Structures are given as C-alpha cells and as structure tokens.
Chains A and B, each alone.
Chain A
Amino acid sequence: MGTVTITINGQKVSAHAGQTVLEAARGAGIDIPTLCHHPALAPAGACRVCLVEVSGQRTLQPACTFPATERMEVQTESAKVVAARRFVLELIFSERNHFCMTCPMSGDCQLQELGYRYGLDHWVYPTYEHRFAVDASPAHHLLDHNRCVLCRRCVRACAELVGNHTLDLRQRGAQTMLCADMDVPLAESTCVGCGTCVEVCPTGALIEKRSAFMARPAELERIATTCSQCSLGCGLNVAMHRGQVLRLESLWEAPVNRGLLCRRGRFEALEDHRPRILAPMLNDGGERLPVSWEKALAEAAARLQATDPLRLGLMASTRMTNEALMLAKKIFLDTLNAGQRGMVDGVCATFPTAERGRLADLCASDAILLAGTDPSADQPVAAFLIKRAVDRGARLITAGKRPGELAAFAEMHVVPRQLEVAVDALLAAARPMVVYGSGLKKADRRTLQRLAGRARFLALQPGVNTRTASAVDVNGTLEPTGCDTLFVIAGEENGTMEALAAGIDRRSFVIAQACYDSPLAARADLLLPMATWLERSGTLTNTEGSLCRAHAALPPSGQSRPDWDILGRLAETLGLEDDPGLKRPERRTRRTP
C-alpha cells in the first residue's frame, strides 16, 4: 500500500493511500470534531460537523469521507471552517428538542460537547415547536425522535454490525425520520433488541430505559469482564455507579465480539431476580440452619471422604471458571476418584479430525452450514456474524427439523435426511464453515464428517466454559440414583435444576454450591453460597478456545464466595496440598477508561 503526504494546518502528515482526511489527521494526533462518525462504522458524511478546507476544492469537504491525496493541503480550524461548523451546529440544534436539562444523556452527549466546543450560548434560529413521537415499545430501550439528529449511526450499526437492517430513514429533507422496517413500532419490528443502536447513538435519541437519569457519566467507572450467558464469552464493560451496577455496555476492544452484545448479554443479564443463597446452610429435617463456612466445609469434606468413590457424584456447571474447573478435577477426579460425574448442560461432541473454526472465520467464509443449533436464540452474537456474512454474499444453509430464525436469511433450509445436499453445496465453496450445536444427531455427524479437512467446524456450546469443562473430563454419564453423595455446582442456569433435583435418590446426601435458590437448592442437604458472574474474577475459555478474562465488578453478596474460592477451601479442608499450578485468582479489577 502506497503512502501519500498531505499538509494539515501547515504540518506534514503521511497517510496510507485510500485513507480519509479524518483518518490521516487522527493518525497524526490532529483533532477534527465529528458527530455521525463512529470508529466501528463505515463513514457516512451525514452531519457535516467535520467540514475542512481542502486545497483545490470549491467548497468545504467532510473530512470523514474525503480521501487524502498527494500534496493536498487541509485547514481544520480556519475561520471559515469554524464559522461553517457553528452554522451546522446551529442548524442541528434548531431542529427538534435539544434542551439538555431534561435529557438523560446530558454530560455524555456528543452534540452537547460540540455545542460547548464551538461556544453556542444561545440560539440563532427560532425555537423548535414540533413534537415528535417517542417509541418506548421495546422492552429495554426507547427511541425519542425529539433528540434524533439523523446521523444514521444506529442505521449503520443495525446493518453493518448486527446484520439486521431493521432501522432506516424514511422521507427526505426536513421530513426525514428514523424508522423501523416499514415504519412500525420497534416492538413489532424485526428488531432483536441487542441495543447496539443505543450504544452508538451520540445523543439521547436511543437510550436504555433501566439506567436513564440514574447517574452522571462523570460518576461512572467501568470494569471490563466477560459475559457468561453463552459459550461465546463476549467481552463487555460493567458501568458502575457508587458501587452499583448501572448498565452493561459494549467493550469495543473485546477481541471475541468487537463491541457486539445481544439482548441477553446487554439487558437481561441484569434482570435475574431469583432469591440468592447468602450463607452456608445445613438442611436439618426440612429446616435450613445457617452454619459457618468452616463447619460447612468440614461437613462436606467428611461426607466426600466417607463415600464409596463409585457412589460419589459430581455435577459440574458449564459456567464455572477455568480455575474452579481445575480444582474440581483435582478434588473429584484426581483425589476422590468420583465414579459418577456429569455436567448441568449437555455438550456437543467435537469433530476430532476437522479444523476448528473461530468466530472471526465466519466473516471470511463464503458458505456456512448451520446444523443442530439456533444461534439467534442461544448465541445471538454468532447469529449477527452469520447475517453479516450473508450480507457480504456468503451462502447460508440451515439444517434441522424445524427452521430457526436464521432460516429466513438462508439460501435453503434442509431437514436432516437432506443433509447430503448441504454437504455437497459446502464442498463447492472456497472457505466453507460448519456451525453446529448439541442438536446434531449421530447420523448427521457421520454425514458432516465428509467435510472434515475441507471445512472449518465451530461448535456452539451451551455454557460459557463448556470447552474447559469437557477438556478436564468432568463430563460423564451421571446417574443421580447411583450416588450416595452428590456434589452439585449449580451455576446461574435456569430451568435445568428441577429435573435434576427430581432424579436424585431420596437417601443420597446432596451438597450444592449454588448462587440462587431452586428446587435443587431446596433438595440439598448442605448449601454453599456461590458468587454470581458479576461477583467473581477468573478466566473462561470460550467455544472457539479464546481465553476470556472475567473481573469482579461487585463484591460477593452475603457470605457467598467465588466458585474457585469454595473449591480451593474445600481442597484445603480435604488436606490436599496447595498446588502452585492451581493458584487462585485474586480479586482483580480492570478498569477501562
């Protein structure tokens, strides 16, 4: 790639050929103000705030879209430029309601910041008098047209990042309005509620309902951690206000998801209102008696040691940290030789001879087969990446008994017995990829085996740490009735606990390490309170094998402890010497600016 040399404000700056004036300036540390520009989105030139003077050009040009060419001379803050920017801002402020004192985004608004920067202390044009609609129909966010500046960041984010194309503009000129699909309320549209539009909105037009008006941005601190809702392990920021979680935000630097989050990860993860277990408790004939950690661990250790290894069971959660899984392996597999073991969630077996794919490969793939999985429901961020691949021209084939949501984006949907057709189609592609889940049947696995060596295989597992859990071999065929003592590590899973609790033998002694109360916790003879995903640090290995770091945003509630801490203390109580390889993570906190 060639380089060009341009002059910005008298300073020589070199840039790659094809870079815009804005990119060249920012690369040289020269600030050009922007509003519609967002680093994750393609430039649109919609707002005209970044106007600059360019030699040889009759009029001012938007720096965000204008390509830098050899010997170009640019002025970014000349009197003419500043006057034009003020004019542009006065026009933007004159349309719609930009009164800051009643806006939740005041203090975190890029339009406000520009008003300050260019000293807008009163309005030149008449006060606005039109009232626009507010669409508060979505569950977690709302769209206030009165604050919209039509910068199209949300439109671009919905199309380019999420691949969903729900948002667009209708009408022209002063009549232009943001709309969803064919102008329907957001809740009735194809919106998937991921909130990426909220994240990129520069004003208060798209806001999260839960956190609106709750805190000033200057009072926030952000802690980077890893989402534990599915096996993708998306990085995100926990925005904290005075020790409370205010909201979850995109972490644009996150290598796995690059700022993308789904509805579950961004919004629903904070809506878990199940009652917590806050102290170690012994079940004494139906009555729960709080006990000290020492007593609880001593009781657990005594029970575990007294049980016949063949009748000792471990049920592990796929949401445990790597550290906890290593400790569970050391205690139950290496030391106690537990004969019964299993995982709370199922696991999809790997294709040992096939090349393992990564999420990023989805973007480069030209043919994707989706089999035995519905990522739009279970791993939505993967669905976003698949839709983006389809936008770029990749062929998508879905396979399964019933077509999932992504079938609408697919070239064809095949039922399991037609899987050969899909395999043939993939064999004709240059960079085929198979994305599969635990719904894949044995016969289908054999059919797909033909693609081994040609396609990359990406498993979409259920739990955030299923990969490590299967690697340390805690998976097995646990028979709840065959256990005298059963140690269950109940993560934050929903729904799976009831069936498990019902299957446990009446006589067996159940030790449950759990975050929330559940039928299983009710059945447990000994309860060990566990910290939630927001309360524990550690590492997780996502489904593609990336190591993801979790940093506790909150201290553990009550007497609860992180999963690795409980198992570490249990190991000590059992008299296992401290293995230097099993160092417990300290409570590390990573703050992002």
Chain B
Amino acid sequence: MAKVLIATDWLAACAGCHMSLLDLDERIVALLHHVAFTASPVTDLKHPPPAGVTVGILTGAVSNTHNVEVARRMRARCRYLVAVGDCATFGGIVAARNLAGTQAALRRAYLETESTVDGLIPDSPELGRPLETVTGVGDVVKVDIFLPGCPPRADDFHYLFSELLAGRIPTCLPREHLRYD
C-alpha cells in the first residue's frame, strides 16, 4: 500500500507543536512505515507539494497576510486539514495581541522598547501585513480536525495519526486527548 502523504506548515507559531510532534521519538520510525512527511518547516522541503497530500497540518495562529496565504495554500493542497495547537485552533497566545490592538503592539515592539533607538516598523512589501485581529486557522479556511493543546502532547499526535491510518476522522476528540494547556 502506498504511504499516506503528510505535509505540515506553521503560521504565527513558536515551533512548540512541531517539537511535540518530534517527541513521538521512536514511534516516528514505526509511523514512517505507513506515512511520508513530504514537506515541513523542519525538513529541507518547506512547501506542500502541488500534487497534494492526504493530511495537511497547520500550527500557529493567523496573524498576518502571509499566514492567510500559507493557510489557503495548505487547504488547496490537502484532503484533510488538521489545525494543531491552541494558536491554530483558538488564536492562542498570539491572540493576546488583540487586547492591545495591532498598531499599538507594533509601536510597542519596534519603537517604544526601552532598548530601541531610532526604531522603525518594518514595512517591506516582501513581508506579510499584520492583520487587525489574530484568529485561529478555522476563521480563514475550512478545518476538518482540531487538535488543541499548548502544545498537544506526543500521545495526542500519535492518537491523531493512528485514527487517520485506521480510516477514521477524529472530529470529536476523546477526553484524554483534548486539552487547552
């Protein structure tokens, strides 16, 4: 049987969810008999293959226009989209910016920091523009499976992959794999 193709990507994320995925440790070896990770931020190939994958995993919140593009590209190239981690599901710690407002947060970070001299808010056209409101991935594209957690534990990833390989879509997480922190 052909391996199930998986691609992962991150938006406004701290990388903790990917670290937690790697915490599968030796279970990754067994997993790789059944799946192939085509692209991820922690491998050489960064972008999901245009030919598409079965499972797309997104971590991190939608914070700027670049995040929106990445989310849409992943959605277009995968069959099942999984939002992983509190940021991708709820907005998470990144959404704390909503309390201050984007412009105030930019000013504080780039101009008003105590150590800053002649600060400048980055505005290169190559950069994504910050959005007014930080949201989870589900506010931008359709998400099939939500796996919250800050980060989800390796066991939760293992449960997700086991279910998917068994042909089941875990739309309703059991209590032991649902957590908000």
Contact = CB atoms under 8 A, between A and B. Distances in A.
A101 B83 contact: no
B136 A122 contact: yes
Contacts of B99: 97, 129, 131
B138 A122 contact: yes
Interface stretch (A110-118, A292-300, A313-321, A543-551): A110-118
Interface size class on chain A is: 20 to 34
- Judged by DSSP, the binding face of B is mixed
Interface in B108-158: 133-136, 138-139, 143, 146-148, 150
A243 interface: no
Interface in A107-141: 107, 112, 115-117, 119, 121-123, 126-129, 131
Contacts of B89: 121-123
Given A99-B86, A119-B172, A121-B148, A129 B133 contact: yes
Interface string B161-181: 000000000001101001111
A518 interface: no
Contacts of B96: 99, 102
Given A106-B180, A121-B146, A101 B93 contact: yes
A119 B147 CA distance: 11
Interface in A360-419: none
Contacts of A102: 93, 96
B48 interface: no
Contacts of A115: 180
Nearest to A117: B175
Max count, chain A CB within 10 A of own CB: residue among B89, B90, B134: B90
Given A106-B180, A116-B179, A119-B172, A99 B95 contact: yes
B91 interface: yes
A472 interface: no
Contact of B98 (A100, A117, A123, A129): A129
A103 B181 CA distance: 9
Contacts of B134: 127
Given A101-B180, A112-B180, A123 B90 contact: yes
Interface in A82-108: 97, 99-103, 106-107
A116 B98 contact: no
A121 B173 contact: yes
Contact of B181 (A106, A126, A129): A106
Contacts of A117: 175
Interface in B78-104: 83, 86, 89-93, 95-96, 98-100
A127 B93 contact: no
Contact of B86 (A101, A107, A116): A101
B181 A123 contact: no
B154 to A, nearest CB: 18
Nearest to B100: A131
B90 A127 contact: yes
Nearest to A124: B138
Interface in A39-84: none
B143 A122 contact: yes
A123 B180 CA distance: 12
Contacts of B180: 99-101, 106, 112, 115-116
A216 to B, nearest CB: 10
Contacts of B181: 100-101, 103, 106-107
A119 B178 CA distance: 7
A97 B90 CA distance: 11
A225 B143 CA distance: 52
Nearest to A107: B181
Nearest to A216: B181
A307 to B, nearest CB: 64
Given A100-B180, A128-B98, A121 B93 contact: no
A97 B93 CA distance: 11
A505 to B, nearest CB: 63
Contacts of A122: 83, 89-90, 136, 138, 143, 146, 148
A101 B96 CA distance: 12
Contacts of B178: 116, 119, 121
B7 to A, nearest CB: 21
A123 B138 CA distance: 9
A494 B136 CA distance: 56
Contacts of B133: 126-127, 129
A119 B134 CA distance: 23
A126 B181 CA distance: 20
A97 B99 CA distance: 10
Contacts of A97: 99
A121 B147 CA distance: 7
A97 B147 CA distance: 20
A122 B95 CA distance: 14
Contacts of A128: 98
B175 A116 contact: yes
A127 B91 contact: yes
A116 B172 CA distance: 10
Contacts of B150: 100-101
Contacts of B173: 119, 121
Contacts of B139: 126-127
A448 B139 CA distance: 74
Interface in B14-46: none
Nearest to A112: B180
B98 A99 contact: no
Contacts of A112: 180
B147 to A, nearest CB: 7
B19 to A, nearest CB: 15
A439 B90 CA distance: 60
A102 B86 CA distance: 11
Interface in B49-93: 83, 86, 89-93
B17 to A, nearest CB: 12
Nearest to B170: A121
B169 to A, nearest CB: 13
A554 B155 CA distance: 36
Contacts of B146: 121-122
Contacts of A106: 180-181
Interface of A: 97, 99-103, 106-107, 112, 115-117, 119, 121-123, 126-129, 131
Given A106-B181, A116-B175, A122-B83, 14 more contacts: A100-B150, A100-B180, A100-B181, A101-B93, A101-B180, A106-B180, A121-B148, A122-B136, A123-B89, A126-B133, A126-B135, A127-B91, A128-B98, A129-B98
7 contacts: A99-B95, A99-B180, A101-B150, A112-B180, A121-B148, A122-B83, A127-B133
Closest 3 CB pairs of A and B: A100-B180, A121-B146, A101-B150
